[in-house]
């Protein structure tokens, strides 16, 4: 049986033979491209994934209120409810693991800066801080600072490997950017780039959508694709070779992220956790954020759309929120071979989410942190009164860094001073006292 015959047999078995409907109109180059496209997809797997997605969408039409319970108290810790001595203990535990080379950073950097108005990877974006450092540089320098702190506390540090997942479109520009910036002073051999996989789009009745007569419509498989990519790109082998036992995974677009936070690492180790998750308390009940809870006895992140207003409003005796922590318009090929851009949603783009693994976890640890200290998302372009944009990210950095200075004894002489502290100088406000204690601080002209 020829390669083409085997492809026909496979497509017919899964009711996807329309993928080669225009085969006779293709030139040899287009035929080769389409065959490669089909081979790169695991047709049985993606068709089964679509069926599961559809079942979940139908199930989720029923609100989850009566099946939800908050995370058990013994698995839920918080920075602002932990004694200082305990936080110091956690931090030292985390730094010790870093010094021994047992911690790695797992960065999800597949996003383009399209919504920010740029055509390069989001990690390269500059929110217009005085230093004009990009997100990549800020995070790279935080890693360097942790290596310095681990070395200072334990006499040596074997390094902090950086595993960076890109998408098909961000891989080459990301590699180039790191090289041009001398890997931000880090060991190039301990920075590993790998690419996430793509998933096809489906019509509502389960047909793979064609982007053109010779190309399947595909998109990145979401941050949950990190597990398949780690395994199939042989990154797990590299993690084992380097002796890494703990990975801190995060997205590139949180400018305040505490990369490889030693306190969080120490907390998770203390809880003997298989998996840990940082959360922030919702600012208000209807804020459109998912919440971590138990559903039918399994850990799960429940999206806000899956619960009713009454559950979202539910509060603990102390007044805190109890639960505080898609269909698309897809261009497609018509019967005559022309491409159509629909006015209404016509299909489903499937995505995996990194927290989908929670339900398979027996020991999950949740760590609540202060939003203003650790979470400021960069999602949107600047608009008046907008949220999660370069302006809000920049102001959140200034606010946090002024707080660091004031805690160290510095006194600002005017309000709203633009204050930026290099990650190379301080990871989370430490080691500043000798620089600012008792000094009056004025804005620079």
Output Rg (C-alpha) for the chain, integer angstroms: 24
Confidence (pLDDT) at 319: 55
Cα distances (angstroms) measured from residue 51 to each of 14, 58, 207, 211: 12, 11, 11, 21
Mean pLDDT of the 78-83 span: 95
Give domain status of residue 54, yes or no: no
Structure tokens at 101: 């080379």
Distance CA 197, CA 226 (A): 9
Pick the more confident residue, 310 or 158. 158
Q: Residue 212 CB: number of other CB atoms within 10 A?
A: 17
Residue 329 forms part of a structural domain? yes
- d(Cα 183, Cα 191) in Å, to the nearest integer? 8
Residue 125 in domain: yes
Q: What is the pLDDT of residue 3?
A: 82
Is residue 239 in some structural domain?
yes
More confident residue, 423 or 49: 423
Range of the domain at 237: 64-387
Supply the pTM of this predicted model. 0.88
CATH code (residue 150): 3.90.550.10
- Beta strand 275-279 with 364-368 is parallel
Count up the domains in the chain and report the number: 1
- Residue for token pair 């020829």: 2
**Short-list 22, 15, 8, 4, CA closest to 213:** 22
* pLDDT at 193 > cutoff 70: yes
User: Can you tell me the distance from the alpha carbon of 268 to that of 261, in angstroms, rounded to the nearest whole number?
Assistant: 11
- Determine the pLDDT at residue 195: 96
Residue 328 binned pLDDT confidence (cut-offs 50, 70, 90): confident
Tell me the pLDDT tens digit for each residue of 204-225: 999 999 999 999 999 888 888 8
In 3D space, the residue among 3, 21, 44 whose CA is nearest the CA of residue 200 turns out to be: 44
For residues 108 and 118, give the distance between their C-alpha atoms in angstroms, rounded to a whole number.
19
Residue 38 is assigned to a structural domain of this protein: no
Cβ atoms < 10 Å from Cβ of 29: 9
Lowest mean pLDDT among 40-44, 95-99, 275-279: 40-44
- Nearest Cα to 293, choosing from 366, 370, 357, 371? 366
Report the interhelical angle of 3-13 vs 28-40 (nearest 10°): 50
Query: Pairing relation of β-strands 339-340 and 218-220?
Result: unpaired
Q: Is residue 328 part of a domain?
A: yes
Tokens of 125: 């974006």
Average pLDDT, the chain: 90
Average pLDDT over residues 232-256: 96
Residue 413 resides in a domain: no
Q: How do strand 275-279 and strand 246-251 relate by DSSP bridges?
A: unpaired
Closest CA to 165 of 221, 116, 219: 221
Average pLDDT value for residue range 430-443? 90
Residue 284, pLDDT > 80, answer no
Residue of higher predicted confidence among 317 and 409: 409
Q: For helices 84-99 and 135-154, give the axis angle rounded to 10 degrees.
A: 90
Residue 185: name the closest of 153, 151, 139 by CA. 139
More confident residue, 84 or 321: 84
């Amino acid at each position: 049986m020829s390669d083409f015959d085997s492809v026909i047999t496979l497509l017919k078995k899964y009711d996807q033979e329309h993928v080669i409907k225009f085969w006779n109109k293709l030139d040899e180059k287009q035929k080769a491209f389409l065959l490669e496209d089909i081979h790169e997809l695991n047709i049985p797997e993606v068709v089964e994934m679509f069926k599961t997605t559809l079942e979940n969408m139908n199930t989720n039409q029923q609100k989850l209120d009566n099946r939800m319970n908050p995370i058990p108290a013994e698995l839920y810790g918080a920075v602002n409810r932990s004694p200082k001595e305990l936080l110091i203990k956690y931090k030292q535990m985390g730094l010790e693991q870093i010094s021994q080379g047992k911690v790695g950073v797992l960065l999800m950097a597949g996003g383009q800066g399209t919504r920010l108005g740029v055509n390069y990877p989001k990690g390269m974006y500059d929110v217009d801080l005085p230093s004009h450092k990009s997100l990549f540089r800020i995070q790279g320098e935080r890693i360097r600072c942790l290596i310095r702190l681990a070395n200072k506390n334990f006499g040596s540090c074997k390094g902090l490997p950086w595993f960076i997942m890109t998408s098909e479109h961000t891989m080459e520009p990301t590699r180039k950017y790191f090289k041009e910036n001398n890997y931000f002073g880090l060991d190039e051999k301990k920075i590993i780039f790998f690419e996430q996989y793509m998933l096809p789009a489906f019509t509502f009745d389960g047909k793979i959508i064609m982007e053109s007569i010779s190309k399947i419509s595909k998109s990145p498989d979401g941050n949950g694709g990190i597990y398949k990519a780690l395994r199939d790109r042989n990154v797990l082998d590299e993690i084992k070779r380097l002796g890494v036992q703990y990975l801190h995974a995060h997205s590139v677009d949180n400018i305040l992220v505490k990369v490889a936070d030693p306190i969080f690492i120490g907390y998770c180790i203390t809880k003997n956790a298989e998996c840990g998750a940082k959360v922030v308390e919702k600012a208000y009940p209807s804020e459109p954020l998912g919440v971590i809870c138990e559903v039918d006895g399994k850990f799960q992140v429940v999206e806000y759309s899956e619960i009713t207003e009454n559950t979202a409003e539910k509060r603990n005796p102390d007044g805190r929120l109890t639960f505080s922590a898609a269909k698309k318009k897809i261009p497609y090929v018509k019967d005559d071979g022309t491409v159509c851009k629909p006015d209404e949603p016509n299909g489903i783009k499937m995505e995996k989410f990194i927290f989908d693994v929670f339900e398979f976890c027996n020991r999950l640890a949740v760590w609540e942190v202060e939003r203003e200290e650790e979470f400021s998302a960069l999602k949107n372009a600047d608009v008046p009164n907008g949220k999660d944009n370069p302006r809000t990210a920049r102001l959140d950095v200034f606010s946090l860094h002024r707080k660091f200075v004031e805690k160290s004894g510095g006194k600002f002489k005017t309000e709203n001073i633009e204050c930026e502290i290099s990650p190379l100088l301080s990871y989370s406000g430490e080691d500043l006292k000798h620089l600012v204690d008792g000094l009056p601080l004025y804005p620079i002209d």
